Amino acid sequence: MASAQDKAFAVASCVALAAYNNVIQLHPWHYRRYVTLNLCATGVALSAAAASGLTPADLGLARWSPGRLAIGLAVGVAASWVVVATVPATRPLLSDKRIESLEGKAIARQAAVRIPVGTVLWEEVAFRGVLQAALRRIMPEAAAIAVSSGVFGLWHIRPTYQALAVNDLAADRARLAARLSGAVVVTAAGGALLSVLRARSGSLAAPVLLHLATNCGGPVAAWAVARRASRGERLSFPS
């Protein structure tokens, strides 16, 4: 039977993670210190988990092999980004003003540092590591996956709003609400897949690999498409 301390830690983890991304991103300094802040948050989460009695094995840190399923899914996602960027009919799906304005060094830093360390490492440790393990102590695995995935969906409300606002898609309130709701559902579903990979493999490396392929592949593909379009415009309309 779960102890009161285990239940309190699980509830506190849910509340803290549901609020973290939606509150801290209100502050401009968060963007400037994104990697540092989230790396520190990763350390705090791991320290809190250890203090609560969770072991490296509980957190998925005792094994470092992602497994064949995760490798196959990551390769499939990477290939999908190539297809989306290559096929003319699907290229508009990659349109994102945040990416189009970046230079080569900036997108390289995004793909090599900001996303792997500031996003993937932090989110996987927080959700598939600490939260999933904390919930697993007080409820069945399927329920733990459902709850952690739901919190993961809520985590993405503020980032989704910011992306919509930058791309001029947040003016209509009804459509904004629908898009935000859709983003919560989609990211919760994605979180469930990552949680299942974590449970099946016994290793945090599995969801980390798939998350990397998803989050790094999209911006790189979008940047490549934007650069190609920019070169085409210059060639068509020489000065």
pTM of the model: 0.89
For the stretch 20-55, pLDDT in tens is 988 887 777 777 899 999 999 999 999 999 999 999
Q: Compute φ and ψ for 3, nearest 5 degrees.
A: -80, 165
Tell me which amino acid residue 14 is. Answer: C
Q: What is the mean pLDDT of residues 57-75?
A: 95
pLDDT over 90, % of the chain: 71
For the stretch 120-177, pLDDT in tens is 999 999 999 999 999 999 999 999 999 999 999 999 998 888 888 888 887 788 888 9
* Whole-angstrom distance, CA of residue 170 vs CA of residue 164: 5
CA triple 231-233-234, angle to 5 deg: 65
Residue 238 has pLDDT above 50, yes or no: no
Q: What is the mean pLDDT of residues 167-191?
A: 90
* Whole-angstrom distance, CA of residue 159 vs CA of residue 184: 11
* Whole-angstrom distance, CA of residue 117 vs CA of residue 112: 8
What integer pLDDT is reported at residue 198 of this predicted model? 97
Residue 233 has pLDDT above 50, yes or no: no
Query: Can you spell out the DSSP letters for 87-98?
Result: STTTGGGG--HH
